[in-house]
Structure 1
Amino acid sequence: MNCNYIKNITTLGLALGVFTLTSCEPDDICLAEEAPFVTLKMYYPNSDTDLEDTIFYKAYVNDTLLIESGSNEKDLTVLNLPILTTENRTIKYILEQGSTYKTKFINGNDTVVTTHQAPQDIIYVNYQIDNKYNSKACGFGVFFKDATFTTSNNWIQNLEIVNTTIDDATSTNLNIFAEPRSY
């Protein structure tokens, strides 16, 4: 093969590569966005002091269909709850303050097993689905607007709505005020 031919192909390849890399604009590349979550931040009552507690959750639609369960074990002051992107709906979140556990008491030949149920509370989140334009590369994305929050107020003493638009996993939507676990 001719050396000039290889040299020309190499030069053309390098020129094409440089042109391709320098012609992209910031909105030409779509980075994977995090799915939106309902983000809860926990505080002690009547305070801005973070409440660090392990919260376990179960998320239901139509009150009975389990869509996800999990906990906030990585960050004990923030809880990210899943949300569905398929249709406007209400999601029921059952929050448990800690985990249910059992104790055994042995008295002679008798063993008494007691189950200690973790305190539970329910938060209902109702929302509307809408679309927003992200960028030329990403196109349109889903966000949730007009979110409303209600609770059964068992161990959660108060709710403070911070943001009724749910469009990422970093903005707090709801502050929860509660006492720490008593066990």
Structure 2
Amino acid sequence: MRSFLKLILILMVFVIQLSCERDEICLEEITPKLVIRFYNEANPNELKSVLGLTVKIEGIEGDYSNETISNFTDSIAIPIPVTENRTNFILRIPSNDQTIEINPDTLTLVYSQEDVYISRSCGYKTIYNDASASIVQDDDNWIKNLDTKTDEFQVIDENTAHVKIYH
């Protein structure tokens, strides 16, 4: 009888162990941000910091700011809204005479979206295909030119710059 109770106890412990689920932690990349690097227009291979940069994502309340945007920055990573297929990013810097006046330039990003299943713990991430970027021309553009690796590019990770801005 004692051995039968031991066997039942061991069997219960074994069944309880099998019924437990492992903790799942998402270690995969999440939906990538648009990475922009700033370069010197006079020397295209040289990074050039932007003083006092602020970014407004059209359709989202307030300015976008996090640890990637500081007073001096030569690259930023900006989230792309997943509810749209076209987004305007308004990049603003103080005017040359450092007064209150702000000089905004608009970067337009057009893209298609694809949701990719990662895992049960991570869920889905969105990647952006067939993306293209352009600058809206005005009388006082501080952004002189922009460059992407190809006319249409993908935003699938944050390992390299997607857009190069020359100023």
Q: Structure 2: which amino acid aligns with 1:158?
A: N
Q: Which residue among 76, 83, 86 is the counterpart of 1:86?
A: 83
More strand by share: 1
Report which of the two structures shows the higher radius of gyration computed on alpha carbons. Answer: 1
Q: What is the TM-score normalised by the length of structure 1?
A: 0.63
Find out whether 1:66 has 2:60 as its counterpart.
yes
- Give the C-alpha shift of residue 135 in structure 1: 4.2
CA 140–66 in structure 1, closer or farther in 2 if over 3 Å, else same: closer
- Any stretches of 5+ residues in structure 1 without a counterpart? 103-114, 179-183
Preserved contact between residue 35 and residue 169 of structure 1 (Cα < 8 Å): no
CA 74–121 in structure 1, closer or farther in 2 if over 3 Å, else same: closer
Q: Structure 2: which amino acid aligns with 1:177?
A: Y
| Count of residue pairs the alignment pairs up | 149
Q: Which residue among 39, 52, 56 is the counterpart of 2:49?
A: 52
Preserved contact between residue 35 and residue 160 of structure 2 (Cα < 8 Å): yes
- Give the C-alpha shift of residue 167 in structure 1: 2.5
Matches within 5 A, 1:1-183: 16=17, 29-31=25-27, 33-45=29-41, 46-53=43-50, 54-60=52-58, 65-71=59-65, 72-73=69-70, 76-88=73-85, 90-98=86-94, 115-135=99-119, 137-153=121-137, 154-162=141-149, 164-178=153-167
- Give the C-alpha shift of residue 120 in structure 1: 1.9
- Give the C-alpha shift of residue 75 in structure 1: 6.9
CA 167–116 in structure 1, closer or farther in 2 if over 3 Å, else same: same
Question: Counterpart in 2 of 1:181?
Answer: none
- Give the C-alpha shift of residue 141 in structure 1: 2.2
- Any stretches of 5+ residues in structure 2 without a counterpart? 1-5
Q: What is the TM-score normalised by the length of structure 2?
A: 0.68
